Structure 1
Amino acid sequence: MFVNYFDDDGRSSPLNLAAGRLLLGCWLVWKTVWYDWAGVLDVPFRAMANPRYEWAIPTGMPWLLTVEKWLLVGLVLLVVVGYRLRVTGVASSFLLAHLATVRSTLVNTGEVDSLFIGSVLLLFFALYPDDDALSVDGLRAVRTRSLDSLVDLLQSEDDRRYRMPALKYALLTLALLFFSTGVSKVVDGGGLGFVAPDNLARLVLVRSYVYPWHDVQLAVVEYPLLGVLGGVGTLVLELGFLAAVLAGLSVTPFVLGLVAFTLSNVVLLGIFFVDNLFFLALFAAFDRAYARLAVDRDLDLVFDEHCLFCARSLYPVKLLDVTDSVTFYTQYDAPDEYASRPGVDFERAMFVFDGVDTYEGYDAFRELLGQNRLFHPLAWVMSRGPVQSVGRRVYRYVADNRSRHFACRPAHLD
């Protein structure tokens, strides 16, 4: 379910990097939009939680924090799509660090710590974008490849390994943070005081008076053994997570345990620290889940090997075909039975063959999307009358004018 990238940061698909960027970006946009950053300026100096960071506040310029807020949102959205990651990632990381410092003048909790963690994770994605093929940068990089190399890539059956150091160092960072939290519990608790029967019970009892929103909390008070088990389990998870990462063991039990621990804090203590769930979800095996959504059918695709635009357009299809269910043929090596079918003209359009069924142009692209259930809603929209009519006309125009507008030329010129 979850991947120990420290043991092996290579995957057969770049999907996990794209999913990680999307998840981190959505979390950060959500956190950024709902904070009133300029409200910091309304708080007197003496009322601040951390007045030593007052230097970070642009006194007298409340508009500047609002500008930073929306600039950060814009930069993070560029990170999500993977546009110029080295620039947008570094810029958004430092901008987030500044805004987090500003907020830390008022709030001294894990809520602010999570912003600093997010800043570090953004920096990892910015420093290691090379194998992030499912990004705008990755797709733009295809422009530097020759037509022959692209055709070879589409028809290649070799398994490529995509390295993911961004997720590797993100995992190590998070494991170190949990480890330090576990150590602080031991040190502050005077050794094993943290797992004492009355320790968790005392915390729960206090919180139940402050936030009396249900009676489940009191069960821990009535049964001291639950408090001991909770304390021991917490230390095992927080201290053992790093050990599992470094030893190359499966991190799935620890991640699931830490998710349960985070949710138990909501139930027992009323602490809604949902940021942990986003961070831990970064290491889910998204590529395996995506593969399970693949449709059990094989398609044969025939494309124009002389068209650079066609080859570039099919590159994302190759990346997303994690189950190797699509076989790529050029118009010259396609099976004879396909060329002899009524209405098939490989010079006119791209074709997809599913057994006895033939799909041309726009409809071929729709069938390629239908290879994975994740894209079935989009494929359904593409099959609706008005959308289909416009789509077919657009494809026809592109196909008829590809040599004039879309860099379609003989392979020997590349």
Structure 2
Amino acid sequence: MNIDNLIDNERTIFLQTYNRLPIIIESARGNIIWDEDGTEYRDFIAGLAVNILGHSHPAVVDAAIRQTYKYMHVSNYFYQRIQIEFAMALTQISGYDRVFLTNSGTEANEGAIKLCRSWGFDKDKTEIIAFTGGFHGRTYGPLSLTERPQYKEKMGPFLNNMRIVEYNNSQALEEAVSEKTAGVLFEFIQGEGGLCSVTDEFIETICRLKDKYDFLIITDEIQTGIGRTGKFMASEHWNIKPDIATIAKGIGGGLPLGAILTREHLANVWKIGNHGSTFGGNAVACATGLAVINELQRGIMRNSLVVSDYFMLHLQAIAEDFPNCVEEIRGKGMMLGIVLKFEASILCRILLEEKKIITNATAGNVLRLLPPLITTKEDIICFVLAIRECLQNLFTEII
């Protein structure tokens, strides 16, 4: 079956919800992807922040194989050594006390909303507040806390008592919070919202209002977590420990795995049967998750900080050299955004077609960069030279 026929079959079989790149993947290793024609692509999105150690990292592959030979799935009716060992490692590296394992970030956020509502039920606290530019998933709970019309068109009504307030607007948050507020959910860096970071002032406002009104701070670390910003959790940059954090993407090393992390005071909110998941905490995914944590602790996260600082310096230089094309550089660690003065999808297409570099456009004009933590300075130079040439050509066309 040739490529055109394969793509035609996809279009006739699948519900058409994805705008796929015109590439059929054959294999991937490290930060390189090969298509079926043997063309090599340099990957600067890492499976949308999933392949934190790169594609098919040997430690992750080995962990998956070893666990698969033991068993793949037995359900949560049983105690499982690999599941418990993974959860213990996760609490140790994250600093949280309790864990509920899921298959995805959306599931983790759905569960976090339920947990928050359960905590607030007897206190008559039912409202949850989220923010403009945020994205927490496409099931009904998280989607109710997302403002974007394109994700919600003809899908209502959504959950009641969900409020969306302007991000980084302390006055708007002051006006929204009340005794009815059960929780405030936010991202430290908004992945879908153009890589905007939360301000120190806004964090201070959230903490002050929490002390006054007694609500839960919930942070969505699905994209920012697992070392992507240079620390295991992005919250460490702001020196704050939320009541609940949700993680996914990078933690599974390429397999579906997520988690709700909580502090000890929430340990007894749920009773047996209040929440559950057939596949959550799958043994093979927990094995790869443990391998990811072990590799991060061996120094990959520290090394990535050096490379990400190097990357940021080069991106800042690009912004200075191309002021007619680049507005600013955003982000931390290996979660960076180039804010352009034109649609980012244009640059994405040129980088893909002419330079064989895979990037992503978000929030209209932001080129999102989510390379794996194994990215080297040589990889950075390759990207920088490519994007400089592309911007130079675009600038020439513009003038």
TM-score category, normalised to shorter length: under 0.3
1 or 2, which has the higher strand percentage? Answer: 2
TM-score, structure 2 length as denominator?
A: 0.21
Q: TM-score, normalised by structure 1?
A: 0.21
Which of 1 and 2 has higher RCO (CA within 8 Å, sep 6+)?
2
More helix per residue: 1
